[in-house]
A and B are shown apart, each in its own frame.
Chain A
Protein backbone atom coordinates (compact mmCIF):
# COMPACT_ATOMS: atom_id res chain seq x y z
CA UNK A 1 0.00 0.00 0.00
CA UNK A 2 1.07 3.54 -0.48
CA UNK A 3 2.46 5.73 2.26
CA UNK A 4 2.33 9.50 2.41
CA UNK A 5 5.98 9.92 1.38
CA UNK A 6 5.38 8.48 -2.07
CA UNK A 7 3.01 10.75 -3.90
CA UNK A 8 3.05 11.30 -7.64
CA UNK A 9 5.68 13.84 -8.65
CA UNK A 10 4.12 14.71 -12.01
CA UNK A 11 1.61 13.47 -14.52
CA UNK A 12 2.42 9.98 -15.69
CA UNK A 13 0.79 7.88 -18.38
CA UNK A 14 -2.62 8.73 -19.75
CA UNK A 15 -4.79 6.27 -21.67
CA UNK A 16 -7.32 7.97 -23.92
CA UNK A 17 -10.18 5.95 -25.43
CA UNK A 18 -7.74 3.13 -26.06
CA UNK A 19 -9.23 0.38 -28.18
CA UNK A 20 -7.71 -2.77 -29.63
CA UNK A 21 -9.37 -5.35 -31.83
CA UNK A 22 -8.09 -8.78 -32.89
CA UNK A 23 -10.38 -9.64 -35.79
CA UNK A 24 -13.88 -9.56 -34.31
CA UNK A 25 -12.64 -9.83 -30.74
CA UNK A 26 -12.33 -6.53 -28.87
CA UNK A 27 -9.50 -6.85 -26.34
CA UNK A 28 -9.66 -3.25 -25.10
CA UNK A 29 -12.82 -1.14 -25.17
CA UNK A 30 -12.22 2.60 -25.10
CA UNK A 31 -10.05 2.52 -22.00
CA UNK A 32 -9.58 5.87 -20.26
CA UNK A 33 -7.30 5.96 -17.24
CA UNK A 34 -4.37 7.74 -15.63
CA UNK A 35 -1.36 5.82 -14.40
CA UNK A 36 0.33 8.29 -12.05
CA UNK A 37 4.07 8.92 -12.10
CA UNK A 38 6.00 7.97 -9.01
CA UNK A 39 3.56 5.25 -8.06
CA UNK A 40 2.98 1.58 -8.71
CA UNK A 41 -0.28 0.92 -10.54
CA UNK A 42 -1.39 -2.68 -10.43
CA UNK A 43 -3.69 -3.81 -13.23
CA UNK A 44 -5.87 -6.74 -12.18
CA UNK A 45 -8.30 -8.78 -14.19
CA UNK A 46 -9.29 -12.32 -15.12
CA UNK A 47 -7.93 -14.12 -18.20
CA UNK A 48 -8.85 -12.31 -21.40
CA UNK A 49 -9.41 -8.99 -19.62
CA UNK A 50 -6.96 -7.17 -21.88
CA UNK A 51 -4.21 -6.64 -19.30
CA UNK A 52 -1.33 -7.93 -21.43
CA UNK A 53 -2.74 -6.20 -24.52
CA UNK A 54 -2.64 -2.92 -22.60
CA UNK A 55 0.95 -3.55 -21.55
CA UNK A 56 2.00 -4.46 -25.10
CA UNK A 57 0.51 -1.21 -26.39
CA UNK A 58 2.38 0.76 -23.73
CA UNK A 59 5.58 -1.10 -24.68
CA UNK A 60 5.09 -0.21 -28.34
CA UNK A 61 4.96 -3.81 -29.52
CA UNK A 62 1.27 -3.56 -30.48
CA UNK A 63 -0.58 -0.70 -32.14
CA UNK A 64 -3.95 0.37 -30.72
CA UNK A 65 -6.87 0.16 -33.15
CA UNK A 66 -8.03 3.56 -31.86
CA UNK A 67 -7.22 5.99 -29.09
CA UNK A 68 -3.91 7.26 -27.83
CA UNK A 69 -1.44 7.26 -24.98
CA UNK A 70 0.08 10.36 -23.38
CA UNK A 71 3.18 10.75 -21.24
CA UNK A 72 3.65 13.76 -19.01
CA UNK A 73 0.72 15.41 -20.74
CA UNK A 74 2.03 15.00 -24.30
CA UNK A 75 0.77 12.56 -26.91
CA UNK A 76 3.14 9.65 -27.13
CA UNK A 77 4.44 7.55 -30.00
CA UNK A 78 5.07 4.22 -28.25
CA UNK A 79 7.17 3.09 -31.24
CA UNK A 80 9.64 5.94 -31.07
CA UNK A 81 13.26 5.24 -30.12
CA UNK A 82 12.96 7.89 -27.40
CA UNK A 83 10.07 6.07 -25.74
CA UNK A 84 11.84 2.74 -26.02
CA UNK A 85 14.84 4.21 -24.25
CA UNK A 86 12.53 5.22 -21.37
CA UNK A 87 10.76 1.93 -20.74
CA UNK A 88 11.83 -1.29 -19.06
CA UNK A 89 9.72 -4.40 -19.60
CA UNK A 90 9.71 -7.53 -17.46
CA UNK A 91 7.44 -10.43 -18.35
CA UNK A 92 7.37 -14.19 -17.88
CA UNK A 93 9.53 -14.44 -21.02
CA UNK A 94 12.94 -13.32 -19.78
CA UNK A 95 14.29 -12.03 -23.14
CA UNK A 96 17.70 -13.50 -22.26
CA UNK A 97 20.21 -15.44 -24.37
CA UNK A 98 20.77 -18.77 -22.63
CA UNK A 99 24.24 -19.51 -24.14
CA UNK A 100 25.58 -16.16 -22.87
CA UNK A 101 26.68 -15.40 -19.32
CA UNK A 102 24.76 -13.14 -16.94
CA UNK A 103 27.22 -10.27 -17.37
CA UNK A 104 27.31 -10.76 -21.17
CA UNK A 105 23.53 -10.53 -21.36
CA UNK A 106 23.55 -7.26 -19.44
CA UNK A 107 26.46 -5.88 -21.47
CA UNK A 108 24.62 -6.64 -24.71
CA UNK A 109 21.47 -4.96 -23.41
CA UNK A 110 23.51 -1.92 -22.34
CA UNK A 111 24.90 -1.55 -25.87
CA UNK A 112 21.39 -1.78 -27.35
CA UNK A 113 20.54 1.21 -25.15
CA UNK A 114 23.72 3.12 -25.95
CA UNK A 115 24.95 3.06 -22.34
CA UNK A 116 28.64 3.96 -22.30
CA UNK A 117 29.78 2.84 -18.85
CA UNK A 118 27.03 0.74 -17.27
CA UNK A 119 27.69 -0.48 -13.74
CA UNK A 120 27.05 -4.15 -14.41
CA UNK A 121 28.39 -5.26 -11.02
CA UNK A 122 25.89 -3.05 -9.22
CA UNK A 123 23.08 -4.29 -11.44
CA UNK A 124 23.98 -7.91 -10.68
CA UNK A 125 24.45 -7.19 -6.99
CA UNK A 126 20.98 -5.67 -6.82
CA UNK A 127 19.44 -9.01 -7.79
CA UNK A 128 21.92 -11.10 -5.80
CA UNK A 129 23.64 -12.59 -8.87
CA UNK A 130 27.09 -11.01 -8.73
CA UNK A 131 28.66 -14.32 -7.66
CA UNK A 132 27.21 -15.94 -10.82
CA UNK A 133 28.13 -13.09 -13.18
CA UNK A 134 30.27 -15.19 -15.51
CA UNK A 135 28.00 -18.26 -15.52
CA UNK A 136 25.90 -19.03 -18.55
CA UNK A 137 22.18 -18.40 -18.24
CA UNK A 138 21.46 -21.93 -19.54
CA UNK A 139 22.53 -23.21 -16.12
CA UNK A 140 20.26 -20.82 -14.18
CA UNK A 141 17.03 -21.77 -12.42
CA UNK A 142 13.76 -20.06 -13.37
CA UNK A 143 14.05 -17.74 -10.38
CA UNK A 144 17.64 -16.74 -11.22
CA UNK A 145 16.67 -16.04 -14.83
CA UNK A 146 13.82 -13.84 -13.69
CA UNK A 147 16.13 -11.93 -11.34
CA UNK A 148 18.61 -11.40 -14.15
CA UNK A 149 15.74 -10.28 -16.39
CA UNK A 150 14.83 -7.75 -13.71
CA UNK A 151 18.42 -6.46 -13.68
CA UNK A 152 18.23 -6.13 -17.48
CA UNK A 153 14.88 -4.32 -17.21
CA UNK A 154 16.29 -1.72 -14.80
CA UNK A 155 19.82 -1.40 -16.24
CA UNK A 156 19.10 1.69 -18.32
CA UNK A 157 17.24 3.40 -15.44
CA UNK A 158 13.84 3.51 -17.19
CA UNK A 159 11.25 6.17 -16.39
CA UNK A 160 8.46 3.66 -16.95
CA UNK A 161 8.61 0.04 -15.81
CA UNK A 162 6.10 -2.40 -17.27
CA UNK A 163 5.75 -5.71 -15.44
CA UNK A 164 3.67 -8.53 -16.94
CA UNK A 165 3.02 -11.34 -14.44
CA UNK A 166 6.59 -11.16 -13.10
CA UNK A 167 5.90 -13.63 -10.28
CA UNK A 168 4.86 -16.49 -12.59
CA UNK A 169 6.80 -19.68 -11.84
CA UNK A 170 8.88 -18.20 -9.03
CA UNK A 171 9.47 -19.94 -5.70
CA UNK A 172 8.81 -17.98 -2.51
CA UNK A 173 12.45 -16.90 -2.08
CA UNK A 174 12.71 -15.58 -5.63
CA UNK A 175 9.29 -13.92 -5.34
CA UNK A 176 10.33 -12.18 -2.10
CA UNK A 177 13.56 -10.93 -3.67
CA UNK A 178 11.69 -9.68 -6.72
CA UNK A 179 9.13 -7.98 -4.50
CA UNK A 180 11.92 -6.27 -2.54
CA UNK A 181 13.48 -4.83 -5.70
CA UNK A 182 10.08 -3.74 -7.03
CA UNK A 183 9.45 -1.82 -3.78
CA UNK A 184 12.61 0.20 -4.42
CA UNK A 185 11.05 1.39 -7.69
CA UNK A 186 8.53 3.44 -5.74
CA UNK A 187 10.98 6.34 -5.74
CA UNK A 188 8.62 9.19 -6.60
CA UNK A 189 10.00 9.46 -10.14
CA UNK A 190 9.23 6.23 -11.92
CA UNK A 191 5.88 5.10 -13.29
CA UNK A 192 5.41 1.40 -12.63
CA UNK A 193 2.63 -0.65 -14.19
CA UNK A 194 2.25 -4.16 -12.81
CA UNK A 195 -0.11 -6.64 -14.46
CA UNK A 196 -0.95 -9.67 -12.36
CA UNK A 197 -3.51 -12.31 -11.40
CA UNK A 198 -2.04 -12.55 -7.91
CA UNK A 199 -4.37 -10.39 -5.80
CA UNK A 200 -2.30 -10.51 -2.60
CA UNK A 201 1.10 -9.76 -4.16
CA UNK A 202 -0.33 -7.23 -6.58
CA UNK A 203 -2.21 -5.29 -3.90
CA UNK A 204 0.73 -5.39 -1.48
CA UNK A 205 2.87 -3.58 -4.04
CA UNK A 206 0.20 -1.26 -5.40
CA UNK A 207 -0.36 2.43 -4.79
CA UNK A 208 -3.10 2.54 -7.36
CA UNK A 209 -5.42 -0.18 -8.64
CA UNK A 210 -7.02 -0.68 -12.03
CA UNK A 211 -9.40 -3.57 -12.69
CA UNK A 212 -10.05 -4.62 -16.26
CA UNK A 213 -12.82 -7.02 -17.22
CA UNK A 214 -13.39 -7.94 -20.86
CA UNK A 215 -11.42 -4.92 -22.01
CA UNK A 216 -13.23 -2.32 -19.90
CA UNK A 217 -12.10 -0.51 -16.75
CA UNK A 218 -14.37 -1.61 -13.87
CA UNK A 219 -12.39 -0.15 -10.99
CA UNK A 220 -9.89 2.72 -10.84
CA UNK A 221 -8.99 3.62 -7.25
CA UNK A 222 -6.14 4.18 -4.78
CA UNK A 223 -4.94 0.93 -3.26
CA UNK A 224 -5.21 2.47 0.21
CA UNK A 225 -9.00 2.12 -0.13
CA UNK A 226 -8.69 -1.64 0.28
CA UNK A 227 -7.47 -4.36 2.61
CA UNK A 228 -6.46 -7.66 0.99
CA UNK A 229 -9.58 -9.60 2.11
CA UNK A 230 -11.93 -6.76 1.26
CA UNK A 231 -10.28 -6.28 -2.10
CA UNK A 232 -10.62 -9.96 -3.01
CA UNK A 233 -14.31 -9.80 -2.21
CA UNK A 234 -14.77 -6.62 -4.22
CA UNK A 235 -12.73 -8.03 -7.12
CA UNK A 236 -14.78 -11.20 -7.37
CA UNK A 237 -18.01 -9.25 -7.00
CA UNK A 238 -17.12 -6.94 -9.89
CA UNK A 239 -15.81 -9.71 -12.13
CA UNK A 240 -18.83 -11.96 -11.46
CA UNK A 241 -21.26 -9.08 -12.09
CA UNK A 242 -19.52 -8.16 -15.35
CA UNK A 243 -19.42 -11.75 -16.57
CA UNK A 244 -23.07 -12.35 -15.58
CA UNK A 245 -24.10 -9.13 -17.28
CA UNK A 246 -22.35 -10.13 -20.48
CA UNK A 247 -23.85 -13.62 -20.40
CA UNK A 248 -27.31 -12.11 -19.87
CA UNK A 249 -26.80 -9.66 -22.71
CA UNK A 250 -25.72 -12.50 -24.98
CA UNK A 251 -28.82 -14.59 -24.11
CA UNK A 252 -31.18 -11.61 -24.35
CA UNK A 253 -32.41 -11.78 -20.72
CA UNK A 254 -32.00 -8.89 -18.23
CA UNK A 255 -28.87 -9.00 -16.08
Chain B
Protein backbone atom coordinates (compact mmCIF):
# COMPACT_ATOMS: atom_id res chain seq x y z
CA UNK B 1 0.00 0.00 0.00
CA UNK B 2 1.30 3.46 -0.77
CA UNK B 3 0.15 6.05 1.76
CA UNK B 4 0.63 5.44 5.48
CA UNK B 5 -2.35 5.13 7.81
CA UNK B 6 -2.56 5.76 11.55
CA UNK B 7 -1.87 2.72 13.71
CA UNK B 8 -3.64 2.33 17.05
CA UNK B 9 -1.25 1.89 19.98
CA UNK B 10 -1.59 -1.35 21.93
CA UNK B 11 -1.89 0.29 25.35
CA UNK B 12 -4.21 2.95 23.98
CA UNK B 13 -6.60 0.22 22.75
CA UNK B 14 -6.42 -1.58 26.13
CA UNK B 15 -7.23 1.64 27.97
CA UNK B 16 -9.99 2.62 25.55
CA UNK B 17 -11.75 -0.78 25.68
CA UNK B 18 -11.45 -1.01 29.48
CA UNK B 19 -12.62 2.59 29.90
CA UNK B 20 -15.56 2.04 27.55
CA UNK B 21 -16.69 -1.15 29.33
CA UNK B 22 -16.41 0.47 32.77
CA UNK B 23 -18.23 3.62 31.64
CA UNK B 24 -21.07 1.51 30.23
CA UNK B 25 -21.21 -0.52 33.45
CA UNK B 26 -21.19 2.64 35.56
CA UNK B 27 -24.14 3.98 33.58
CA UNK B 28 -26.24 0.84 33.28
CA UNK B 29 -25.11 -1.01 36.44
CA UNK B 30 -26.51 -4.06 34.68
CA UNK B 31 -23.83 -6.44 35.95
CA UNK B 32 -22.56 -4.93 39.19
CA UNK B 33 -26.00 -4.69 40.83
CA UNK B 34 -26.77 -8.34 40.05
CA UNK B 35 -23.35 -9.49 41.26
CA UNK B 36 -23.54 -7.41 44.45
CA UNK B 37 -27.09 -8.62 45.09
CA UNK B 38 -25.91 -12.21 44.73
CA UNK B 39 -23.09 -11.68 47.26
CA UNK B 40 -25.41 -10.12 49.84
CA UNK B 41 -27.93 -12.92 49.29
CA UNK B 42 -25.24 -15.57 49.88
CA UNK B 43 -24.22 -13.79 53.09
CA UNK B 44 -27.80 -13.61 54.36
CA UNK B 45 -28.61 -17.23 53.46
CA UNK B 46 -25.48 -18.64 55.08
CA UNK B 47 -26.03 -16.47 58.11
CA UNK B 48 -29.36 -18.23 58.66
CA UNK B 49 -28.36 -21.69 57.50
CA UNK B 50 -25.19 -22.16 59.57
CA UNK B 51 -25.34 -22.84 63.26
CA UNK B 52 -22.40 -20.76 64.40
CA UNK B 53 -22.38 -22.57 67.73
CA UNK B 54 -21.35 -25.75 65.89
CA UNK B 55 -19.43 -24.42 62.84
CA UNK B 56 -16.76 -21.75 63.05
CA UNK B 57 -17.19 -19.22 60.20
CA UNK B 58 -13.40 -19.07 60.00
CA UNK B 59 -13.35 -22.71 58.87
CA UNK B 60 -15.75 -22.31 55.96
CA UNK B 61 -15.10 -18.69 54.99
CA UNK B 62 -12.37 -19.53 52.49
CA UNK B 63 -14.39 -22.03 50.46
CA UNK B 64 -17.44 -19.82 50.67
CA UNK B 65 -15.49 -16.81 49.42
CA UNK B 66 -14.17 -18.70 46.38
CA UNK B 67 -17.57 -20.15 45.52
CA UNK B 68 -19.11 -16.69 45.78
CA UNK B 69 -16.31 -15.20 43.68
CA UNK B 70 -16.79 -17.74 40.90
CA UNK B 71 -20.58 -17.76 40.82
CA UNK B 72 -21.01 -13.99 41.05
CA UNK B 73 -18.15 -13.60 38.58
CA UNK B 74 -19.96 -15.87 36.14
CA UNK B 75 -23.03 -13.66 36.38
CA UNK B 76 -20.98 -10.58 35.57
CA UNK B 77 -18.31 -11.77 33.17
CA UNK B 78 -20.79 -14.00 31.34
CA UNK B 79 -22.61 -10.88 30.21
CA UNK B 80 -19.49 -9.01 29.14
CA UNK B 81 -20.24 -9.63 25.47
CA UNK B 82 -23.98 -8.94 25.73
CA UNK B 83 -23.44 -5.21 25.18
CA UNK B 84 -21.10 -6.00 22.29
CA UNK B 85 -23.80 -8.04 20.56
CA UNK B 86 -26.34 -5.22 20.64
CA UNK B 87 -26.52 -3.57 17.24
CA UNK B 88 -23.41 -5.38 16.06
CA UNK B 89 -20.96 -3.39 18.22
CA UNK B 90 -18.45 -6.24 18.35
CA UNK B 91 -18.54 -6.62 14.57
CA UNK B 92 -17.82 -2.91 14.31
CA UNK B 93 -14.93 -3.25 16.72
CA UNK B 94 -13.47 -6.08 14.64
CA UNK B 95 -13.66 -3.96 11.50
CA UNK B 96 -11.07 -1.61 13.00
CA UNK B 97 -7.30 -2.24 12.92
CA UNK B 98 -7.19 -2.49 16.74
CA UNK B 99 -5.03 -5.49 17.83
CA UNK B 100 -7.29 -8.33 18.95
CA UNK B 101 -5.15 -9.20 21.95
CA UNK B 102 -5.37 -5.58 23.12
CA UNK B 103 -9.18 -5.70 22.86
CA UNK B 104 -9.12 -8.89 24.95
CA UNK B 105 -6.80 -7.45 27.61
CA UNK B 106 -8.94 -4.30 27.76
CA UNK B 107 -12.01 -6.40 28.49
CA UNK B 108 -10.07 -8.45 31.08
CA UNK B 109 -8.99 -5.25 32.86
CA UNK B 110 -12.59 -3.99 33.07
CA UNK B 111 -13.87 -7.38 34.23
CA UNK B 112 -11.08 -7.71 36.80
CA UNK B 113 -11.94 -4.34 38.36
CA UNK B 114 -15.56 -5.44 38.57
CA UNK B 115 -14.80 -8.89 40.02
CA UNK B 116 -12.18 -7.60 42.46
CA UNK B 117 -14.74 -5.08 43.70
CA UNK B 118 -17.04 -8.04 44.32
CA UNK B 119 -14.22 -9.83 46.21
CA UNK B 120 -13.91 -6.83 48.52
CA UNK B 121 -17.69 -6.74 48.96
CA UNK B 122 -17.71 -10.48 49.73
CA UNK B 123 -15.09 -10.05 52.46
CA UNK B 124 -17.04 -7.10 53.85
CA UNK B 125 -20.36 -8.98 53.86
CA UNK B 126 -18.82 -12.06 55.49
CA UNK B 127 -17.10 -9.82 58.03
CA UNK B 128 -20.43 -8.27 58.84
CA UNK B 129 -22.51 -11.44 59.05
CA UNK B 130 -19.93 -13.85 60.50
CA UNK B 131 -17.66 -11.38 62.31
CA UNK B 132 -14.89 -12.88 60.19
CA UNK B 133 -11.33 -12.31 61.33
CA UNK B 134 -9.16 -11.63 58.27
CA UNK B 135 -6.07 -13.19 59.83
CA UNK B 136 -2.63 -11.67 60.40
CA UNK B 137 -1.93 -10.90 56.74
CA UNK B 138 -4.98 -9.27 55.13
CA UNK B 139 -2.78 -7.77 52.37
CA UNK B 140 -1.51 -11.21 51.36
CA UNK B 141 -5.07 -12.52 51.51
CA UNK B 142 -6.10 -9.82 49.03
CA UNK B 143 -3.14 -10.70 46.80
CA UNK B 144 -4.17 -14.36 46.77
CA UNK B 145 -7.79 -13.51 46.00
CA UNK B 146 -6.65 -10.96 43.40
CA UNK B 147 -4.49 -13.54 41.59
CA UNK B 148 -7.41 -15.96 41.64
CA UNK B 149 -9.80 -13.30 40.37
CA UNK B 150 -7.38 -12.47 37.53
CA UNK B 151 -7.06 -16.11 36.45
CA UNK B 152 -10.82 -16.54 36.62
CA UNK B 153 -11.52 -13.35 34.65
CA UNK B 154 -8.91 -14.22 32.00
CA UNK B 155 -10.56 -17.57 31.28
CA UNK B 156 -14.16 -16.38 31.71
CA UNK B 157 -13.62 -13.49 29.28
CA UNK B 158 -12.17 -15.84 26.68
CA UNK B 159 -14.94 -18.40 27.05
CA UNK B 160 -17.53 -15.62 27.26
CA UNK B 161 -16.45 -14.57 23.76
CA UNK B 162 -16.79 -18.16 22.61
CA UNK B 163 -20.21 -18.81 24.11
CA UNK B 164 -21.61 -15.42 23.07
CA UNK B 165 -21.60 -16.60 19.47
CA UNK B 166 -23.45 -19.85 20.24
CA UNK B 167 -27.18 -20.39 20.63
CA UNK B 168 -26.66 -21.79 24.14
CA UNK B 169 -24.95 -18.55 25.17
CA UNK B 170 -24.35 -18.00 28.87
CA UNK B 171 -25.69 -21.41 29.92
CA UNK B 172 -22.73 -23.04 28.16
CA UNK B 173 -20.16 -20.90 29.97
CA UNK B 174 -20.07 -22.71 33.35
CA UNK B 175 -19.93 -26.12 31.63
CA UNK B 176 -16.82 -25.11 29.71
CA UNK B 177 -15.25 -23.07 32.46
CA UNK B 178 -15.64 -25.02 35.71
CA UNK B 179 -13.33 -27.94 34.86
CA UNK B 180 -10.54 -25.51 33.98
CA UNK B 181 -10.99 -23.62 37.25
CA UNK B 182 -10.37 -26.65 39.46
CA UNK B 183 -6.59 -26.09 39.95
CA UNK B 184 -7.18 -22.44 40.73
CA UNK B 185 -9.84 -23.22 43.34
CA UNK B 186 -7.71 -25.95 44.95
CA UNK B 187 -4.68 -23.68 45.41
CA UNK B 188 -6.70 -20.54 46.11
CA UNK B 189 -9.04 -22.00 48.73
CA UNK B 190 -6.13 -23.69 50.49
CA UNK B 191 -4.02 -20.51 50.56
CA UNK B 192 -6.80 -18.20 51.70
CA UNK B 193 -7.98 -20.77 54.28
CA UNK B 194 -4.54 -20.84 55.85
CA UNK B 195 -4.26 -17.06 55.84
CA UNK B 196 -7.68 -16.70 57.48
CA UNK B 197 -6.55 -19.22 60.09
CA UNK B 198 -3.60 -16.94 60.93
CA UNK B 199 -0.88 -19.18 59.45
CA UNK B 200 2.39 -17.54 58.27
CA UNK B 201 2.79 -16.21 54.74
CA UNK B 202 5.68 -18.60 54.01
CA UNK B 203 3.21 -21.48 54.32
CA UNK B 204 1.18 -20.25 51.31
CA UNK B 205 4.04 -19.04 49.11
CA UNK B 206 3.92 -22.12 46.87
CA UNK B 207 0.16 -21.88 46.39
CA UNK B 208 0.50 -18.17 45.65
CA UNK B 209 3.06 -18.90 42.94
CA UNK B 210 0.77 -21.53 41.41
CA UNK B 211 -2.12 -19.03 41.39
CA UNK B 212 0.08 -16.40 39.73
CA UNK B 213 1.29 -18.94 37.15
CA UNK B 214 -2.32 -19.96 36.47
CA UNK B 215 -3.29 -16.31 35.93
CA UNK B 216 -0.33 -15.66 33.59
CA UNK B 217 -1.05 -18.81 31.57
CA UNK B 218 -4.74 -17.98 31.32
CA UNK B 219 -3.96 -14.42 30.18
CA UNK B 220 -1.43 -15.64 27.62
CA UNK B 221 -3.80 -18.25 26.23
CA UNK B 222 -6.62 -15.73 26.13
CA UNK B 223 -4.57 -13.09 24.32
CA UNK B 224 -3.35 -15.66 21.79
CA UNK B 225 -6.74 -17.26 21.11
CA UNK B 226 -9.17 -14.35 21.36
CA UNK B 227 -8.69 -13.23 17.75
CA UNK B 228 -9.28 -16.76 16.46
CA UNK B 229 -12.46 -17.05 18.50
CA UNK B 230 -14.13 -13.77 17.62
CA UNK B 231 -13.29 -13.79 13.93
CA UNK B 232 -14.67 -16.27 11.43
Question: How far, in Å, is B18 (CB) from chain A's closest CB?
Answer: 11
Alpha-carbon distance between A168 and B13 when the two chains are bound, in angstroms: 32
8 Å CB interface, A59-108 against B: 59-63, 71-72, 74, 79, 81-82, 84-87, 89, 91, 93-100, 104, 108
B128-156 interface bits toward A, Cβ cutoff 8 Å, 1 = contact, 0 = none: 00000000000000000000000000000
CB of A111 within 8 A of CB of B16, answer yes
Is B171 in contact with chain A by the CB < 8 A criterion?
no
Name the segment of A112-120, A197-205, A238-246 touching the other chain.
Answer: A112-120
Residue of A nearest to B93 (CB): A112
The answer on a CB contact under 8 Å between B87 and A82 is no
Q: Cβ of B94 and Cβ of A61 under 8 Å apart?
A: yes
Q: B5 → chain A, closest Cβ, in Å?
A: 4
Residues B8 and A112 in contact, CB atoms below 8 Å apart: yes
A156 at the interface (CB under 8 A from B): yes
A-side contacts of B98, CB under 8 Å: 112-113
Q: Does B1 contact A (CB under 8 A)?
A: yes
Main secondary structure of the interface of B (DSSP, over half): helix
Docked complex Cα distance between A116 and B12 (Å): 11
Q: What class of interface size applies to chain A in its complex with B?
A: 35 or more
Say whether A81 contacts B7, CB under 8 Å.
yes
**Interchain CB contact under 8 A, B232 and A108:** no
Q: Are B95 and A95 within 8 A (Cβ)?
A: yes
* B87 touches which of A61, A72, A86, A98 (Cβ 8 Å): A98
From A71, A74, A97, B24 is in contact (CB under 8 Å) with A97
| A84 CA to B93 CA, complexed, in Å | 11
Closest beta carbon of chain A to B159's beta carbon, Å: 22
Interface string of B155-181 (1 = CB under 8 A from A): 000000000000000000000000000
Q: Does the CB pair B12–A114 fall under 8 Å?
A: yes
The answer to whether B83 and A114 have CB atoms under 8 Å apart is: no
Residues of B within 8 A of A86 (CB): 1, 5
26 A-B pairs within 8 Å (CB atoms) are namely A62-B232, A79-B231, A81-B97, A82-B5, A84-B97, A85-B96, A86-B5, A93-B88, A94-B87, A97-B24, A97-B89, A99-B24, A99-B28, A100-B20, A109-B92, A111-B12, A111-B13, A112-B13, A112-B93, A112-B96, A112-B98, A113-B8, A114-B12, A116-B6, A145-B87, A156-B6
* Nearest 8 CB-CB pairings of A with B: A95-B92, A93-B88, A114-B8, A81-B97, A112-B96, A85-B5, A114-B6, A111-B16
Q: Beyond A72-B2, A81-B99, list 15 extra A-B contacts (CB 8 Å).
A: A60-B95, A63-B232, A71-B1, A74-B1, A86-B1, A86-B5, A89-B92, A93-B91, A99-B23, A99-B83, A108-B16, A112-B8, A112-B13, A112-B16, A113-B98
Which residues of A are in contact with B by a Cβ distance under 8 Å? 59-63, 71-72, 74, 79, 81-82, 84-87, 89, 91, 93-100, 104, 108-109, 111-116, 136, 145, 152, 156
Chain B contacts to A: CB under 8 angstroms = 1-2, 5-9, 12-13, 16, 20, 23-24, 27-28, 83, 86-89, 91-99, 231-232
